[in-house]
Amino acid sequence: MVNRENAKLMTGNEACAEAALVAGMSFFAGYPITPSSEIAECLARRLPQEGGTFVQMEDELASMAAIIGASLAGVKSMTATSGPGFSLMQENIGYASMTEVPCVIVNVQRGGPSTGLPTLPSQADVMQARWGTHGDHPIIAVAPSTVRETYDWTIKAFNFSERFRVPVVVLLDEIIGHINEKIVFPKREEIEIVDRARTKQNPEDYKPYELTDSDIPLFADFGSGYRYHVTGLSHDETGFPTNDPKKVDLLHRRLNRKIDRYKSEIISYKTAFLEDADLCIVAFGSSARSAYRAVSRARTSGLKVGIFHIFVLWPFPYEELNKIARRIKKFIVPEMNLGQVAHEVACATKYEVTQVNRVDGGLITPDEILEAIKNVPV
């Protein structure tokens, strides 16, 4: 039953901050940037109340560095930013990938490139979330479309991060960040919380990157008696740098395999009206909201349209979309960028994809998607 206790009117940014606390996050480092600042503001108020630590750093490079440092001490940590700050964080996101330090980065997307449109939404950091840092590297990115989804996916972001020891990006956008919606909170006991697997070995025998069956090494908190070395240099299982081609190859293949082999447990999406559809809309984030409305109106006019709503953008659901493409040949991707996800959908389906794009700071309306639906040749 919904009552005052478990329902509240709140923004996506507030839901993100509250969810992080529920997930067990106790360290936040950030730098002010529109449209993400409310996450920092909320946590500046909440973390001292909860016994956690909030620190406003001098820039985003420092924020990203600080959350990695905190996570090495064994606490769950997070930062929040928007496009320009996300760009500044990339080098250290690569460091977290390379050294397998769990952490969560929230990017409330705004128009870019550069300073762009600070107060207006965009979904143009999809590729940066995947490939922003240099080198092949594992990463996970999730994209909620409502305030409640923001709550759920922020918690899941921490869970992924802890389980796979990877940085996880929560891709919000200005619309989700700032929209006020009623959120009905899940019961605490129904929320799954994952903590990183820690070593129980003798400190003398501990190798920080020792191969395990799961491909995910066992963690030891800094300062817990396990004295080991962490470096962003290519390293072997002892954690020390190496140039040995065999060991370097082993490391990089394992780092990437770590996500690849578990992708079926990470990938998440929802479908609706696809059973008899001859056209599929692939949507994510706030654009998915307009897509649902467009689909329901198209159905009212007798058009057989369905939706594939992506929650986890990286790893991308190539195989799942490929399966759908065996029957459906027409795809529309509405997104507030010039086709970043459309390109991936085309890769997955091998079909040309109709794009509905906006990069003017406006949101994609149901009408614009409906128009595209009507114009796709049958």
Partner 1 sequence: MFPYEKYLRRDRFPHIWCTGCGCGIVLKALLRAIERSKISKDDIALVSGIGCSSRTPGYVDFNTLHTTHGRAIAFATGLKLAKKELKVIVVTGDGDATAIGGNHFIHAARRNLDMTVLIYNNYIYGMTGGQASPTTPTGKKGSTAPYGTIEPAFDISGLAIAAGASFVARSTCYHAVQLDKYIHKGILKKGFSVIEAISPCPTYYARPNRLGNVVDMLQWYKENSIPVEVARKVSEEEKKDKIIIGILHDAEKPEFCEEYQRLSARVRKIDNK
Q: Which residues bind partner 1 (CB under 8 A)?
A: 26-27, 29, 48-49, 51, 53, 55, 57-59, 61-63, 65-75, 77, 91-92, 95, 221-233, 240-241
Which of 29, 259 has the CB closer to partner 1?
29
Supply the minimum distance, in Å, between the C-beta of residue 1 and partner 1.
Answer: 28
Q: Is the CB of residue 50 less than 8 Å from the CB of residue 26?
A: yes
Supply the minimum distance, in Å, between the C-beta of residue 15 and partner 1.
Answer: 21
Q: Which residue has the tokens 């700071």?
A: 361
Supply the minimum distance, in Å, between the C-beta of residue 377 and partner 1.
Answer: 51
Which of 222, 351 has the CB closer to partner 1?
222
Whole-number Å distance between alpha carbons of 289 and 293? 7
Which of 7, 73 has the CB closer to partner 1?
73
Amino acid in the structure at residue 106: V
Structure tokens, 289: 């909201």
> Strand 279-284 and strand 312-314: pairing?
unpaired
Supply the minimum distance, in Å, between the C-beta of residue 241 and partner 1.
Answer: 7
Phi and psi angles of residue 30, each rounded to the nearest 5 degrees, phi first: -155, 175
Which of 91, 181 has the CB closer to partner 1?
91
C-alpha distances out from residue 164 to 11, 100, 266, Å: 29, 8, 10
DSSP class of residue 133 equals: S
Which of 59, 249 has the CB closer to partner 1?
59
Supply the minimum distance, in Å, between the C-beta of residue 374 and partner 1.
Answer: 51
Q: How far is CA 200 from the centre of its chain?
A: 30
Structure tokens, 347: 């890769």
Q: Which of 141, 149, 82, 153 is nearest to 116 (CA)?
A: 82
Q: Which helix (H) or strand (E) holds 345?
A: helix 340-349
> Strand 76-81 and strand 25-30: pairing?
parallel
Q: Which residue has the tokens 């009623």?
A: 182
Supply the minimum distance, in Å, between the C-beta of residue 87 and partner 1.
Answer: 15
- Residue 284, classed as helix, strand or coil, is strand
DSSP class of residue 186 equals: P
- Residue 354, classed as helix, strand or coil, is strand
Which of 86, 311 has the CB closer to partner 1?
86
Which of 62, 147 has the CB closer to partner 1?
62
Whole-number Å distance between alpha carbons of 90 and 131? 9
Which of 74, 217 has the CB closer to partner 1?
74
Supply the minimum distance, in Å, between the C-beta of residue 253 and partner 1.
Answer: 23
Q: Is the CB of residue 72 less than 8 Å from the CB of residue 40?
A: no
Supply the minimum distance, in Å, between the C-beta of residue 351 and partner 1.
Answer: 42
Amino acid in the structure at residue 239: G
DSSP class of residue 131 equals: H
Supply the minimum distance, in Å, between the C-beta of residue 18 and partner 1.
Answer: 16
Structure tokens, 225: 């008696």
